[in-house]
Amino acid sequence: MTRRIIWSLCALPVNWEDSGNPAACEEPVFELVFLGTSASAPSVQRGLSSALVMVNEHRFMIDCGEGTQRQLLRTGLGFRRLDKILLTHGHLDHILGLGGLASTLGRWEALEELNIFGGGMALARVQMLMDVVFGPGQTPNSGVTLNLMEAGLLFEDKQFTLTAVPVQHRGPDCFAFLFEEKERRPFLPEVAEALGIPHGPVRRDLALGIPATLPDGRVVQPEEVLGEPQRGARLFFAGDVSHTGPLHKVAEGADLLAVEATYLDADKQLAKQHGHITATAAARLARNAGVRQLVLHHVSRRYTTQQVLEEAQAIFPDTIVASDLDSFAVRKDKPVTARNLRQR
């Protein structure tokens, strides 16, 4: 059984961090971890497609290729709070890990709830996997819920929104995902000083939009000490795509754009034939959309990482090619920082 649901709870270079010092930088708005970065089939260095976006207490897994749960364990992140999985599309290299993951969560990790979101074709295939794991007709009793995903708002809380964006690949119901921090109004300390507002809880309340009463009895409204709204951080994650034209507007100004680079430009006819794009096309998308950082993934075994990197950087210098277990921290108007979470 599937259901449509919206959850509601109310150009800078990458800086590489020492993975042994996770406190080296402030808490990110969004953290993107690549669990698998290979196209179609695994290689010695790269697993099949999967990523994890973490924000506050939430975890969103994007795709779940074969071997994903072992990659998750290698990061040290484990299964805690993993209750939302987003599927870009239903091809097997993006979903075959779901059977094993659901089995582990259900039999060993005291699974309470696992929501899988996808298009119709993807969920039909996932249902077959769940029937193997839990038995025909038993999925509703397992804690797993299959949610039919449509373009538009998918999740919202007080600090960010998640939007499903339709993309073209091969077949229907393919998606990318836009994570956006909500607009903020900055606190203006110079105005607070001029109004004689003391430091401490009063300023904290005003920054949170709560009126405050001063010791002398004056009531200060938040509008008096808050600036104009400013756009928050934006992370745009695209998996397999065949056309970048429709993505320029939604990717515009993203602090990080993650997108496939399955082929090099020399093989652009193969890319067209199989519904993918080249590193050149990905770099042009990043340049034309004015993003801060481009991260390429879904890399074919036919090329070296350096080949893919050089082709993209010739057009958009602020490009890197993700490796398995690379983690990227995204904050508004600050450099993207990266580290590798490999522990085993």
Query: How buried is 73 (Cβ within 10 angstroms: 0-12 exposed, 13-18 middle, 19+ buried)?
Result: middle
* Beta partners for residue 187, in sequence order: 226
Q: What is the DSSP letter of 27?
A: P
SS3 201: helix
Helices and strands, counts by H and E, the chain: 9, 20
Among candidate residues 63, 83, 93, 173, the one labeled active-site is 93
Q: Is 324 a catalytic residue?
A: no
How many Cβ atoms from other residues are within 10 Å of residue 233's Cβ?
Answer: 24
Q: Are 206 and 196 in contact (CB under 8 A)?
A: no
First to last CA, the chain: 38
Token digits of residue 234: 């934006």
182, 232 Cβ separation under 8 angstroms: yes
Cα separation, 78 vs 241, whole angstroms: 30
Classify strands 256-260 and 234-238 as parallel, antiparallel or unpaired: parallel
Residue 38 phi, psi (nearest 5) = -95, 155
Contact by Cβ (8 Å): 290, 252: yes
Return the structure tokens found at 107. 């039999």
d(CA 252, CA 245): 12
Q: How far is CA 173 from CA 61, 90, 150, 165, in A?
A: 18, 9, 8, 10
CB distance 220 to 197 below 8 Å: yes
Which residues are annotated as catalytic?
93
